[in-house]
Amino acid sequence: MACPAITLTGITAEVWECCRREARRLGVTFPDTDTGSVHHADADADYTWNRNDGTLQVTFTRTPSYIRCEMIEMRLREGARLCGAR
């Protein structure tokens, strides 16, 4: 199941690095690029970080059927906030 695109704001270079580090800590193989795709046994997502306006757009293209898109968005926003996003 795919979810609508999620746009996060306040994603500075420091926040972006923290988010990628945390994703890796959770077992997600995360490339060192600002645009791409990540894959995990349970989910896949496409992402684009815009350095100029400090936004990160994430679209989950595959998710487990037992997790609603709203929960995924809430967790993603909380993770970014814990990394310093405003």
- 37 in a structural domain: yes
Whether pLDDT at 1 is above 80: no
- 48 in a structural domain: yes
- 12 in a structural domain: no
- 1 in a structural domain: no
- State the total domains in the chain: 1
Residue with tokens 């496409």: 46
- 53 in a structural domain: yes
Give the pLDDT of residue 86: 81
- 5 in a structural domain: no
Q: Work out the end-to-end distance of the chain between its first and last CA atoms, rounded to an integer number of angstroms.
A: 29
Could you tell me the residue range of the domain that residue 35 belongs to? 31-58
- Threshold 0.85, pTM exceeds: yes
- 4 in a structural domain: no
- 6 in a structural domain: no
Mean pLDDT on 48-72: 96
Give the pLDDT of residue 30: 84
- Determine which of 27-31, 54-58, 67-71, 78-82 has the lowest per-residue pLDDT on average: 27-31
What is the overall mean pLDDT for the chain? Answer: 94
Q: How confident is the model at residue 40 (pLDDT cuts 50, 70, 90)?
A: confident
